[in-house]
Chain A
Amino acid sequence: MMLVLAALGVWAIGWGVNIWVSHQKPGRWQSVVSATVFGVTAVIMWQLVVTGLEVSPVILPPPSMIFTAFVSSTDILWADFIQTFVKGALSGYVIGCSAAFLTALAIDRSNFLKRGLLPIGNFVAALPIIGMAPILVMWFGFDWQSKAAVVVVMIFFPVLVNTVQGLDAAGKMQRDLMHTYAAGYWQSLFKLRLPAAAPFIFNGLKIASTLALIGAIVAEFFGSPIVGMGFRISTGAGRLELDLVWAEIVVAAIAGSAFYGIVALIERKATFWHPSQRK
């Protein structure tokens, strides 16, 4: 009971610190500090409440236990990370995004494709990924290739739709301007339409970055070699090694946020001119 009370005390302190932070002069550090304080408070409270109420580690292990599992099985986690994130998610992401981008260019050039391919893209996007994954595993085998294929199917449509929409983003006047310069298709594309489309394309890339990891992990539930984050999560849960499962979840959370963050950072550099990015 003492530990639960201590948890409430930590919560009060965390709250107090954040109120103090939010009353300081505004700056970039504030959001970082308040987020950190919030996270640290939550983790400490989790630890205190779980040990204080003697919650079974199968239901929810304390952070200290997850941390121990994390440190003692870094080689397993690393191998799983390479298998699932680098080989499955990342290669699927690159293939899916490039394919969607090139398809968008083709669709944009031809009205026929616009009428034919967009509905097919719509149709593929509507397929439940849980239903598609076992089939793709059968087609492409247990290794990372099938995971990449699931990722491609998942991210193709959001990137395609955003890119097609982006290619329409350049205003009529800006196109007329290119016309008066007697610019060719490729010149207009590279000097006007792609830069104008960039905010839309990055939107698609950001959505795809979160979908890619989910797709790669879920696909492993339907068959994988004895390595991979999804494999570890499903077998770990079966063996009641919940601390290892949680350690994988921590890896997935870190990798997923870092991936999204990197894409968002590139977006910031590439579309600095857009009203939403101007400082």
Chain B
Amino acid sequence: MARNDPDSNRAPAETVISASNLSLTFETNDGPVHALKDVDLTINRGEFVSFIGPSGCGKTTFLRVLADLEQPTGGSVSVNGMTPREARMKRAYGFVFQAAGLYPWRTIAGNIKLPLEIMGLSKSEQNERVQKVLELVHLDGFGKKFPWQLSGGMQQRASIARALGFDADILLMDEPFGALDEIVRDHLNEQLLELWAKTNKTIGFVTHSIPEAVYLSTKIVVMSPRPGRVREVIESSLPRERPLDIRESAEFLAIAHRVREGLRGGHDDG
């Protein structure tokens, strides 16, 4: 397994995602809802960035703005130096939703092929990539199964494989493990880190869980609700190589404590 030298990733500090003064207001029947307000954020290549905060803090909305699934009402945002729409048209990112959302009429391999078919890749290239990503998420041999024949954890892994298939540099994940139990979640977190190390992608990851955020991230963005804004950005001092038991180390607990403090401050204001 290839290991990444931390310095080689951090040295160029190339900006992949940047948002400045980003605002998004939903007009509802009960008046405007400020889902995002004046968000400034920069994400560099190869970073693993978690967004954490209570419900309604705009973390999912922010991710959806990056994916061009929501339109901001103010400020600017760029993904790979392009607008989110251009980035989407160039398939600059893979998106993993809260639920696996696999199409039940397609096999696992067929689901992973879906974006590849849309991109118009050749059959042999499709098969090659399917095989590669199935191995990455440890699902080799399950390609011919249908989604409803697999467990929830395996389905979510398949949906990650689907997002990896077209080899975008950026992976956006919206609470991908939120619906899974703790044991499966630990396992998938570990595998996700391994995958991140292998592929060196830039990952944006929305979560409700403080331990999950601290365990995975190089940078933790703490957000507060009403209006949704960035309260604090915490750079993690943990090494990139992280065994599961790092979660009992003093350093880990210190970062978790800072995140918790940040969240509490957010609540007081809200």
Known: A176-B69, A195-B105, A273-B148. A182 touches B99 (CB 8 A): no
Give every chain B residue within 8 A of A181 (Cβ-Cβ).
Answer: 91, 114-115, 118-119
Give every chain A residue within 8 A of B103 (Cβ-Cβ).
Answer: 174, 191-192, 195
In residues 92-121 of chain B, which contact A (Cβ within 8 Å)? 93-95, 97-99, 101, 103-105, 114-115, 117-119
Known: A191-B117, A195-B103, A273-B148. A182 touches B97 (CB 8 A): no
Please tell me if A115 contacts chain B, counting CB pairs below 8 Å: no
Nearest-neighbour CB distance to chain A for B191, whole angstroms, equals 22
Please tell me if B67 contacts chain A, counting CB pairs below 8 Å: yes
Q: Which of B91, B94, B98 contacts A182 (CB 8 A)?
A: B91
> Are B69 and A179 in contact, CB atoms less than 8 angstroms apart?
yes
Please tell me if A177 contacts chain B, counting CB pairs below 8 Å: yes
Please tell me if A187 contacts chain B, counting CB pairs below 8 Å: yes
> Are B99 and A273 in contact, CB atoms less than 8 angstroms apart?
no
Query: Complex formed: what's the CA distance from A273 to B103 in Å?
Result: 9
Nearest-neighbour CB distance to chain B for A202, whole angstroms, equals 13
Known: A181-B118, A191-B118. A273 touches B104 (CB 8 A): yes
> Are B118 and A177 in contact, CB atoms less than 8 angstroms apart?
no
Give every chain A residue within 8 A of B95 (Cβ-Cβ).
Answer: 176-177, 180
In residues 70-104 of chain A, which contact B (Cβ within 8 Å)? none
> Are B101 and A177 in contact, CB atoms less than 8 angstroms apart?
yes
> Are B148 and A176 in contact, CB atoms less than 8 angstroms apart?
no
Q: Name the interface size band of chain B.
A: 20 to 34
Nearest-neighbour CB distance to chain A for B269, whole angstroms, equals 31
Known: A182-B118, A183-B118, A191-B114. A273 touches B105 (CB 8 A): yes
Give every chain B residue within 8 A of A191 (Cβ-Cβ).
Answer: 103, 114, 117-118
Please tell me if A109 contacts chain B, counting CB pairs below 8 Å: no
> Are A171 and B101 in contact, CB atoms less than 8 angstroms apart?
yes
Binding site secondary structure of chain B: loop
> Are A180 and B69 in contact, CB atoms less than 8 angstroms apart?
yes
Known: A182-B89, A191-B114, A273-B148. A177 touches B97 (CB 8 A): yes
Please tell me if B88 contacts chain A, counting CB pairs below 8 Å: yes
Q: Which of A180, A275, A278 contacts B88 (CB 8 A)?
A: A180
> Are A174 and B101 in contact, CB atoms less than 8 angstroms apart?
yes
Query: Complex formed: what's the CA distance from A180 to B159 in Å?
Result: 14
Give every chain A residue within 8 A of B114 (Cβ-Cβ).
Answer: 181, 191
**Chain A residues in the interface with B (C-beta under 8 A):** 171, 173-174, 176-183, 187, 191-192, 195, 198, 271-275, 278
Top 9 closest pairs, chain A to chain B, by CB: A273-B104, A273-B105, A180-B95, A181-B115, A173-B101, A195-B105, A182-B89, A183-B118, A181-B118
Sample of 9 further A-B pairs with CB below 8 A, known A273-B146, A273-B148:
A171-B101, A179-B88, A180-B67, A180-B68, A180-B88, A180-B95, A181-B119, A182-B89, A191-B103
24 contacts between A and B (CB under 8 A): A171-B101, A173-B99, A173-B101, A174-B103, A176-B69, A176-B95, A177-B95, A177-B97, A180-B68, A180-B69, A180-B88, A180-B94, A181-B114, A182-B88, A182-B89, A182-B91, A182-B118, A187-B118, A192-B103, A195-B103, A273-B104, A273-B148, A274-B104, A278-B148
